[in-house]
Amino acid sequence: MEKRTRPLVVFINGLTAHSQDYRFIPIVENIFKGEEGMPGMDIVNINHRGLAGAKLTTARMYSCAAISDVIEPLLSIYERFGKNSDQKCYVIGFSMGASMLTNALGEIDREHGGPLYDGACIIQAPMKIWMCYKAM
């Protein structure tokens, strides 16, 4: 396996966004290229079930309560790129993806005795989700 020197950023989008989303692509392009004084980073995006043309292979649909849909790829990405490597790995969650990431990081920390990623960023996580449910 080749030695990777660029940091890796894992993205978890919100409820309807995905890797082909018009809001997502400009962000990723800028982070991938980098800027003056800031190196570019490698990108991995975790799409939610059924989005971005992904075929459903199980009877289970997307659910924002299914943090296993975030934990499983986060652990796999860490095993492949972060563990036993000098490559820094970060994770960013947006909106509902941020809420799922918050829960997933707590679970990963509890199960693995500490954080696996070098840093995490939670952006606009919905607060008081139960109030949204009551309003529907």
Sheet of strand 8-12: strand arrangement? 42-46, 8-12, 89-94, 119-123
Measured CA to CA, the distance from residue 103 to residue 111 in angstroms comes to 12
Mean pLDDT computed over 3-25: 77
Measured CA to CA, the distance from residue 47 to residue 12 in angstroms comes to 7
pLDDT digits (tens, 9 = 90+) for 26-83: 888 888 888 888 889 999 988 877 666 677 777 776 666 778 888 999 999 999 888 8
* Topology adopted by domain 8-135: Rossmann fold (3.40.50)
In the chain, where are the structural domains located? 8-135
Residue given tokens 């966004």 in the structure block: 17
How many other C-beta atoms are found inside a 10 Å radius of the C-beta of residue 36? 4
Mean pLDDT computed over 108-131: 83
Whether pTM > 0.85 for this model: the answer is no
